[in-house]
């Protein structure tokens, strides 16, 4: 497969996959996800690759799903009108959400570890990828959030499974931004480094893992990830998918207000209408601490 939305390079046993739509902060589209998972499988098959680093070009790791794309998995326009047959709409969203969750599960099934190198904005579906990676290293300027919950959308069970239900509720019930230090406190990330040290640190860890026998790495990743799945994460995600579908199929006054803003002023107006009531954010560039 030829890649147009990602970059793929291998150096010294480490494959680096870079989400490469910096002009829209690496928002996920269906095409980008197809390329990403093709690249993950390619790295998984390559005997010269022993670890995988996932990062983003420009000022974001990933801003979430591309809400302006017609084919985007979470495009808001798909629920812009009250459904005639609710079961059909819920079923469509259920299938899409299961596909999203399957993408995350695929990371766990790879024989090699995936290290997320999170730079800048890490939002929505991008945040989910950051949670799902085997190891996550963040730059000190990283900002995390699930702002989509502010328009009747869903969080992900992985947040609570990884960080505890009180931490997950604090941010999943508000969509509030949190910074790299807060992410480290909660266990969202393993380490925080200076922005210019992010990729060198992630690649250095990948090379360190590469010194361990490949069979040992594969088996020990499986012990952790498949053990967690057997212990109940898959059950939580199964319920997650059904509740996601209900959330995405919802249509009420809040959605109508946001859609009116989008019709009048485009996507930026939609996002402002959604997020402006929550400013200042508790952390990050839009917090009161920065004066923005």
Going by C-beta distance under 8 Å and a sequence separation of 6 or more, which residues neighbour residue 219? none
Going by C-beta distance under 8 Å and a sequence separation of 6 or more, which residues neighbour residue 143? 120, 121, 122, 123, 177, 178, 179, 180, 283, 284, 285
Write the pLDDT tens digit of every residue in 179-197. Answer: 999 999 999 999 999 999 9
Going by C-beta distance under 8 Å and a sequence separation of 6 or more, which residues neighbour residue 286? 177, 279, 280, 292
Write the pLDDT tens digit of every residue in 61-96. Answer: 999 999 876 433 344 434 444 546 778 888 888 898
Residue 84 has a pLDDT of 63
CB 66, CB 235: distance < 8 Å: no
Residue extents of the structural domains in the chain = 6-290
Characterise 86 by phi-psi region: left (phi > 0), alpha (psi -120 to 50), beta (else).
alpha
Pick the CATH number of 6-290 from 3.40.50.300, 3.30.365.10, 3.90.226.10, 3.50.50.60: 3.90.226.10
Q: Is 82 exposed, middle or buried (0-12, 13-18, 19+ CB in 10 A)?
A: exposed
Kindly report the pTM of this predicted structure.
Answer: 0.90
The whole-chain average pLDDT of the chain stands at: 91
């Amino acid at each position: 497969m030829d890649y147009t939305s990602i970059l793929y390079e291998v150096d010294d046993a480490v494959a680096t996959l870079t989400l490469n739509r910096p002009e829209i902060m690496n928002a996920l589209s269906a095409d980008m996800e197809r390329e990403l998972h093709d690249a993950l499988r390619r790295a998984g098959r390559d005997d010269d690759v022993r670890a995988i680093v996932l990062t983003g070009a420009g000022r974001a790791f990933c801003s979430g799903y591309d809400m302006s794309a017609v084919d985007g998995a979470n495009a808001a326009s798909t629920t812009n009108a009250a459904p005639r047959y609710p079961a059909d709409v819920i079923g469509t969203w259920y299938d899409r959400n299961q596909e999203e969750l399957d993408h995350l599960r695929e990371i766990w099934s790879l024989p090699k570890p995936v290290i997320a190198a999170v730079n800048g904005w890490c939002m929505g579906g991008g945040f989910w990828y950051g949670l799902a990676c085997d190891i996550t290293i963040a730059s000190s300027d990283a900002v995390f959030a699930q702002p989509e919950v502010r328009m009747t959308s869903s969080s992900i069970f992985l947040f609570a499974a990884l960080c505890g239900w009180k931490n997950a509720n604090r941010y999943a019930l508000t969509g509030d931004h949190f910074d790299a230090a807060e992410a480290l406190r909660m266990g969202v990330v393993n380490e925080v480094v200076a922005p210019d040290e992010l990729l060198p640190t992630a690649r250095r860890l990948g090379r360190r893992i590469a010194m361990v026998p490949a069979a040992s790495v594969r088996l020990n990743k499986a012990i952790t990830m498949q053990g967690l799945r057997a212990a109940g994460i898959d059950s939580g995600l199964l319920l997650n998918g059904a509740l996601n579908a209900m959330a995405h199929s919802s249509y009420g006054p809040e959605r109508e207000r946001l859609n009116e803003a989008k019709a009048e002023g485009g996507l930026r107006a939609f996002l402002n209408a959604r997020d402006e009531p929550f400013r200042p954010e508790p952390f990050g560039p839009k917090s009161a601490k920065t004066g923005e």
